[in-house]
Amino acid sequence: MKREDFLKRGFGSLGLFAAIPLLSACKQTDVIDPETTGATTGTTGTTTTTTPSTCSVTNSETEGPFPTKTPSSLVTNNIVSDRQGDKLTVNVIIRNVNNSCEVLPDAIVDIWHCDAAGNYSEYGGTGMQSTNYTSVHFLRGRQTTGSTGLASWTSIYPGWYSGRAPHIHVHIYNAKGTSLLVTQIAFPEDISKLVYAQGVYKSHGQADTTNARDNVFGDGVTNEMSVVTGDVTNGFVLTHTIFVKA
Amino acid sequence: MPQGKIKLSFRIVISKNSVTKWEKLIWESTYKEFLMQSQLFSDRENPAQSFKQLLSQNEKASQLHFLVSTAAHPYVMQWKGLIYFLADNLGNNFLPFEQYRFDIIDSNIYDKQSHEIGITFTSPLLTLVDIWEGHYLVSLDENADPVNTGAETLMFKMQPRLSVSFFKP
């Protein structure tokens, strides 16, 4: 089965699900909370005789604050979070090969990259993450392309880690969430050299892998190479066009 | 008398059977995120059906625990540092958390009903004063000296999915 089909099914079933909780709701209401019981005396007389001592999980209080439907924390155009570094505006334009390379609106674009020290926001292994939980998703973002095919973020210039040339990961989906392309964006080496010689990047030194020796870009970096303008004082602007089949 | 410093961890499992609005929002949003992000790791033409199958085919798919957590994160943030599913014996005091960890128990790109996730909250360092009648008697003040100066305490009933995850005498 093609992934278009499974995604359709997956999202399509969202509507179906709405009926399910009603069926199972009676399970939780069996648990009578002493305070709720008190409050309902007179309307549901039978519940007042329930012994509350066996009930360790209360209902009315444990709902917590009223929840508000909120998009994924990825959906943000400022992905800096608590990271330090030179400001980088990332402009990605998506074009559709199946439509004479016209711009592609409504495409969902995820980007992620490492921080100045070369670390991704990811907790590894089975241990508890060591960073503050409120900033665990740094340097990851999701935007939807507008009528000009542009998706934009405010970030910092990525650092580097051993064995890889500096890069930004990109995952492009259509409006339904079906994956169209997973790719990476390369950086001009002369600009990376300037960045890594100063500021929070300096202690980590220069990248150990050139684009030519990189195992992703090594087969020809032309299509993945971005245009980067700016300077370390005012920050940088990256522009890159990605072609997909949508 | 088991005195010491502890951290308590409390795990919530969210599935198709979950009833609170908070859980249902997380269940919906994390399933949608799983459908999107699992495509990073699955075979384009013949994608694995379940998360466990995907893990067996591509161990990098374990990154999905983290990647899908992005969809639960805003809802965890709405709790503003309190585990609202873990009240103390009074019913209106809640255990604070300073870390949480999200995991996918299982999911399936063809079967939404099998989507099941866990969120494990971990408290800051607490002072364990004692264990009384199946309750952890704790002070939220990690530097409390209850024997000599007394301390305000909370009582959390021992229950499934509540564990002492760190101990220091």
Which of A62, A129, A173 has its CB closest to that of B85? A62
- Residues of chain A in contact with residue B85, where contact means CB-CB under 8 angstroms, are 57, 62, 64
A63 → closest Cβ in B20, B45, B86: B20
- Write out pLDDT tens, residues A54-71: 555 544 445 778 888 888
Predicted pLDDT of residue A32 = 36
Closest residue of chain A to B66, computed from CA coordinates = A122
The pLDDT of residue A134 is: 77
- How far, rounded to the nearest angstrom, does the alpha carbon of residue A119 sit from its chain's CA centroid? 16
Please enumerate in sequence order all residues whose Cβ is within 8 A of that of B12, keeping only pairs 6 or more positions apart, or say none. B23, B85, B118, B119, B120, B121, B161
Please calculate the CA angle B7-B143-B163 and round it to the nearest 5 degrees. Answer: 15
Distance CA A49, CA A37 (A): 9
Q: Which domain holds residue B76?
A: 4-168
H or E stretch covering B57 = helix B51-57
Question: Does residue A43 have a pLDDT over 50?
Answer: no
Q: Which of A72, A109, A144 is best to mutate for the B interface (most B CBs within 10 A)?
A: A72
What are the CA-CA distances from residue A168 to residues A113, A155, A216 (Å)? Answer: 5, 11, 12
Predicted confidence at residue A123, as pLDDT, reads 57
Residue A16 has pLDDT above 60, yes or no: no
* Phi/psi of residue A83, nearest 5 degrees: -80, 150
pTM, rounded to two decimals: 0.82
- Joined together, the tokens standing for residue B153 give 């305490």
Q: Kindly determine whether residue A71 and residue B101, on different chains, have CB atoms separated by under 8 Å.
A: no
Average pLDDT on B86-90 reads 94
Q: What is the pLDDT of residues A127-163, one digit of tens each?
A: 444 456 777 889 999 999 999 999 999 999 999 999 9
| Residue pointed to by tokens 């008398």 | B1
A-B Cβ pairs (cutoff 8 Å, strict): 132
pLDDT in tens, A107-130: 999 999 999 999 988 754 444 444
Please state the domain count of chain B: 1
Q: What's the ipTM? A: 0.89
Average pLDDT over residues B140-159: 93
Q: Which residues lie closer than 8 Å to B147 by C-beta, 6 or more apart?
A: B3
- CA-nearest of A11, A2, A14, A9 to A180 is A2
Nearest-by-Cβ selection for B84 from A14, A62, A129: A62
- Tell me which chain B residue has its CA closest to the CA of residue A9: B110
Tell me the nearest-neighbour CA distance from A159 into chain B, angstroms. Answer: 21
Contact assignment for B70 to A9 by CB distance below 8 Å: no
- Chain B residues within 8 A of A56 when measuring between CB atoms: 157, 159
Task: Find the closest chain B residue to A1 by CA distance.
Answer: B46
Question: CB–CB of B84 and A173 under 8 A?
Answer: no
Q: Output the six-digit token pair for B61.
A: 């798919």
* List of residues 6+ apart from A204 with CB closer than 8 A: A116, A117, A118, A159, A160, A196
Residue among A195, A199, A170, A172 nearest A104 (CA): A172
Go through the domains of chain A in sequence order and give each one's CATH number: 19-63 (no CATH), 87-122+137-244 (2.60.130.10)
Q: Of A214, A221, A215, nearest to A188 (Cα)?
A: A221
Q: What is the Cα–Cα distance from B148 to B167, expressed in whole angstroms?
A: 21
Residue with tokens 């940088």, as numbered in its chain? A236
**Residue of chain B whose alpha carbon sits nearest to that of A8:** B110
Most B CBs within 10 A among A16, A76, A179, hence the mutation to make, goes to A179
Q: Return all residues near A156 (Cβ < 8 A) that are at least 6 apart.
A: A80, A83, A84, A85, A86, A87, A88, A115, A116, A139
pLDDT at B2: 65
Of the candidates B96, B103, B104, the one whose C-alpha atom is nearest the C-alpha of residue B80 is B96
| Across A178-189, average pLDDT | 96
Taking CB atoms and an 8 Å cutoff, what residues of chain B touch A136?
A: 69, 73
E runs forming strands in B19-152: 82-87, 94-96, 99-106, 116-122, 126-132, 135-139
Cross-chain Cβ contact A10/B122 below 8 Å? no
| Cβ distance of A61 and B87 shorter than 8 Å | yes
From A2-16, A203-217, B125-139, the region with the lowest mean pLDDT: A2-16
C-beta of residue A182 within 8 angstroms of C-beta of residue B40 = yes
